[in-house]
Amino acid sequence: MSRIIHRRSKRMETRSAAWQRLFIWRMRRLREPLSDLLHNIDTFDTFKWPPETLAEDERHGYEPTPWSALPKIFKHVHLDFSRFTFIDMGSGKGRVVLTASKLPFQSVIGVEFLPELCRIAENNLKTCRFLRRRTHDIKIIECDAIDFVPPNTPCMFFFLNPFGERLMQLVVNNIVGSYLKSPRDLYMICIGGGKPTDFAEIARNPALKLQQSFVIPWGLLTRRNVAVFSVTAA
C-alpha cells in the first residue's frame, strides 16, 4: 500500500512541476508583448526577411532576444562597461540596443543590414518610454556587417547567431583587422543555438581567445550556450 501511495505522490509531484513550468512559460510569453506595450515599442513580433536574401547571404532571420538575456550574461562577464562601446551585430528591431542602454556603456551601436528593420529600431529609440537609460550615445547604423568599421575604442560585440559560418568568419576577420590596425580591448559575446559545436569554427581562429563559456536559460525548457572571446594578435 505504501508503495502505491508513494507512486501516486511522485506522479502528482511530476504533474505539478509540469504545470508550474507551463505557467511560467505562458507568463514569460505574455510578458514579452506586454513589455513592448509598456515601453511603447515594437520588438516582439517576428520579421520575415526576403527568402533570397537569407539564402544568398547566410543571414539568419530576426529573433527577439529576451529582455532578461543581457542581465544573465553580465552576471558572468565582469568588465568596466564605461570603457566600452557595445555593438549589437545584426541588431534587428533594437531590443538588445535598448537593453544595453540601461548599462553605463561609453556608447551603444546597433548594426543592421535591412533598411526596414533599421527604421523600426530608430523609431523604437525615439518612442521608448519608462526605460532608464544610462547610455545616451545610442545609434543604429545601416550597413553590411562585413563593411562595418568599429570605433577606435574598446568594444564589446554581441552576436545572437545572426549569420551562417562563412559570413560569420568574414565579420570576425573584419573585427580582427580593426584590432591589428589599432590594438585595444575587443570582446565578442556569442550566443549559439544550443549545440555543442556552436562555436567550433570561431574558436579555430588563431586571433581569438576563449575567455569563458557558460549556459543561460532561454525560454521554458531551452538553454543557450554563451561564449566570450577576446581578440588578440594572431
Per residue in 102-154, pLDDT (tens digit) is 999 999 999 999 999 999 999 999 999 999 999 999 999 999 999 999 999 99
Predicted confidence band of residue 206 (pLDDT cuts 50, 70, 90): very high
Give burial (CB, 10 Å; 0-12/13-18/19+) of 13.
exposed
CA 101, chain centre distance (Å): 14
pTM: 0.84
Cα–Cα dist 173/109, whole Å: 19
What's the residue count for the chain? 234
- Domain boundaries defined on the chain: 1-39, 51-231
Per residue in 37-93, pLDDT (tens digit) is 899 999 987 666 666 555 555 666 677 888 889 999 999 999 999 999 999 999 999
Report the percent of the chain where pLDDT is more than 70. 76
The domain made up of 51-231 is a member of CATH 3.40.50.720: no
Query: Which of 233, 80, 229 lies closest to 159, judged by CA?
Result: 229
Give burial (CB, 10 Å; 0-12/13-18/19+) of 122.
middle
Residue 146: other Cβ atoms inside 10 A: 13
Please state which of the ranges 21-30, 153-162, 173-182 shows the lowest mean pLDDT. Answer: 21-30
Residues whose CB falls within 8 Å of the CB of residue 194, separated by 6 or more in sequence, listed in order: 218, 222, 223, 224, 225
Cα–Cα dist 142/148, whole Å: 9
Contact 157, 172 (CB under 8 A): no
